[in-house]
Amino acid sequence: MKIGEVAKQVGLSVKTIRYYHDIGLVVGQRGDNGYREYNQQAINALKFIQQSRALGFALEDCKALLELQNNDHRKAADVKALAIHHLDDINQRISQLKDLRSQLTQLIDDCEGGEQPNCAILDGLKLDRAKS
């Protein structure tokens, strides 16, 4: 199947599929006409990668998951460990986002708004909040 047809079927852009091809996540064979052709295995891999990306896995992790998917001798514990590591990263980002929300909420609450030039938000942005 040609790349344009694959893109429509899996819901990815042609550019994304080419990129995945270039970094070795999927392989399309070049036909006599020079076009990339993708078989069902490659299409399944693209769908798998798309689902993994939708869950926030980095491309490096997608590659590891795909390798595990294609390995009949894989250990479920290896897959679980990768997923747990990803969940830990998500939880850390959530914590950081909560901290950012708290800091921004405080800046907004400190600002009186209005017509005066003084602004607690701008003053607060001058501070090094990473240390606080």
> Can you name the CATH fold of 1-55?
Multidrug-efflux Transporter Regulator; Chain: A; Domain 2 (1.10.1660)
Q: What is the pLDDT of residues 38-59, one digit of tens each?
A: 999 999 999 999 999 999 999 9
pTM of this prediction?
Answer: 0.78
- The answer, yes or no, to whether residue 130 has pLDDT greater than 70, is no
- Cβ(70)–Cβ(76) below 8 Å: no
Single-letter amino acid code for the residue at 7 = A
